[in-house]
Amino acid sequence: MTIQWFPGHMAKARREVTEKLKLVDIIIELVDARLPLSSRNPMIDEIVHQKPRLVVLNKEDMADPQLTKKWITYFESNGIKAISVNAQAGNGMQKIVKESQSILKEKWDRMKSRGMKPRAIRAMIVGIPNVGKSTLINRLVKKNIAKTGNTPGVTKSQQWIKVGKELELLDTPGILWPKFEDEKVGYKLALTGAIKDTILNLQDIALYGLLFLEEHYVSKLKERYEFSDIPDNPVDKFQHIGKLRGCLMAGGEIDYDKTAELIIRDVRGIQLGRVTFDFPPEDDNEKM
Ligand code: G4P
């Protein structure tokens, strides 16, 4: 999905999420485990404000497991509970329910001590496009899709879906915009497929990917493209890969756009292995 985000769209998205915040007990903030920072909405803290929140790093199957662990520690050291899941395979669904319960335990205990009957936790999923919101909702709901209909005090049009007895989910996720100010973020979102069509130049995106991999995942890069030594010059890098993979124009010249497309496709298809493109802020490795 490609969405052009203009200031008006951002304001509308923000308004919609803010409006729905009132209906829920907890926000499930979905991010891409390959980009736990770049795939977050830049204003999420402000938007979510005091509402309890669980950060879910989705697509863990595509991300570097060691960095996923570091990211979870990073979020937690900043007071935000985080877990990783693979929504496509349905791994980690129960963790979402369990963690939501644990985050809200004190509030629920207070309700109980006041003699109130325990009810299901109400949650909303939010995230930028393509982080897997729909996939996650479908997985959480499994086959027992049971719309709970209109809950008193809730806008009529709002539908809730039951996830077991413990959780109720708003049927439509909150869609927020990614960060655009930073070119690096744009490259990362494009490389991983979070943004499919972009105004960024294909060759620039691919080159960004090559340089990142060379710096952080060099053995994977060498293996995939059969480099014994990686040349310094970008043209030579493209020449090598283009020749190896037959990205040629009529006449036998290297087709640089085709080569760039191939590199991007390889990154998106995890042909270069499980790569994470964001490092936790305190991690010294963050140079890109
Ligand atoms: P959205 O609602 O947030 O916009 O995202 P959506 O669920 O549409 O998911 C975006 C893409 O990410 C989909 O692939 C989906 O299959 C994939 N995806 C979601 N969760 C995971 C996950 O945990 N692991 C992996 N590997 N992929 C995941 P697509 O290529 O756009 O569509 P399709 O090929 O599945 O049809």
Is the shortest distance between the CB of 31 and ligand 1 below 6 Å? Answer: no
The predicted pLDDT at position 264 comes to: 97
Cβ neighbours around 8 below 10 Å, total: 8
Cβ neighbours around 66 below 10 Å, total: 10
User: Poorest-confidence range of 143-157, 199-213, 272-286?
Assistant: 143-157
The predicted pLDDT at position 143 comes to: 52
Q: How far is the CA of 249 from the centre of ligand 1 (A)?
A: 33
Question: Tens digits of per-residue pLDDT, 199-246?
Answer: 789 999 999 999 999 999 999 999 999 999 999 999 999 999 999 999
The predicted pLDDT at position 282 comes to: 73
Is the shortest distance between the CB of 39 and ligand 1 below 6 Å? Answer: no
The predicted pLDDT at position 152 comes to: 46
Find the mean pLDDT for residues 135-149. Answer: 70
Q: How far is the CA of 86 from the centre of ligand 1 (A)?
A: 10
Query: Please, what is the average pLDDT of the chain?
Result: 91
Label residue 164 by pLDDT band (50, 70, 90). Answer: confident
Beta-bridge partner residues of 57: 31, 84
Closest Cα to atom 15 of ligand 1: 132
* Mutation probe of ligand 1 site: the residue of 56, 88, 125, 274 with most atoms within 8 A of C-beta: 88
The predicted pLDDT at position 192 comes to: 94
The predicted pLDDT at position 118 comes to: 85
Label residue 126 by pLDDT band (50, 70, 90). Answer: very high
Residue tagged 């802020």 (tokens): 281
Ligand 1 atom at minimum distance from 62 CA: 26
Question: Tens digits of per-residue pLDDT, 26-53?
Answer: 999 999 999 999 999 999 999 999 999 9
The phi-psi region of residue 185 (left if phi > 0; otherwise alpha if psi is between -120 and 50; otherwise beta) is alpha
* Mutation probe of ligand 1 site: the residue of 29, 84, 96, 130 with most atoms within 8 A of C-beta: 130
- Token readout for 9 is 């769209």
Closest Cα to atom 10 of ligand 1: 130
Task: Tell me how far apart the 2 most distant CA atoms of the chain are, in Å.
Answer: 81
Q: How many CA atoms lie within 13 A of 45 on its CB side?
A: 6
Is the shortest distance between the CB of 62 and ligand 1 below 6 Å? Answer: yes
Closest to 207 in 3D by CA, of 220, 193, 223, 190: 190
Is the shortest distance between the CB of 216 and ligand 1 below 6 Å? Answer: no
The predicted pLDDT at position 24 comes to: 97
Say yes or no to pLDDT of 288 above 80.
no
Q: How far is the CA of 130 from the centre of ligand 1 (A)?
A: 6
Closest Cα to atom 17 of ligand 1: 132
Closest Cα to atom 12 of ligand 1: 132
User: Poorest-confidence range of 14-18, 116-120, 122-126?
Assistant: 116-120
Q: How far is the CA of 201 from the centre of ligand 1 (A)?
A: 24
Closest Cα to atom 26 of ligand 1: 59
The predicted pLDDT at position 2 comes to: 54
Ligand 1 atom at minimum distance from 89 CA: 23
R_g of the chain, CA atoms, integer Å: 21
Is the shortest distance between the CB of 192 and ligand 1 below 6 Å? Answer: no
Find the mean pLDDT for residues 143-168. Answer: 66
The predicted pLDDT at position 157 comes to: 61
Question: Tens digits of per-residue pLDDT, 71-121?
Answer: 999 999 999 999 999 999 999 999 999 999 999 999 999 999 999 988 999
125/164: higher pLDDT: 125
Give the whole-angstrom CA distance, residue 283 versus residue 262: 30
Which one-letter DSSP state was computed for residue 248?
A: B
> To the nearest whole percent, how much of the chain has pLDDT over 70?
91
Beta-bridge partner residues of 248: 254
Find the mean pLDDT for residues 141-156. Answer: 52
Label residue 259 by pLDDT band (50, 70, 90). Answer: very high
Closest Cα to atom 16 of ligand 1: 88
The predicted pLDDT at position 181 comes to: 81
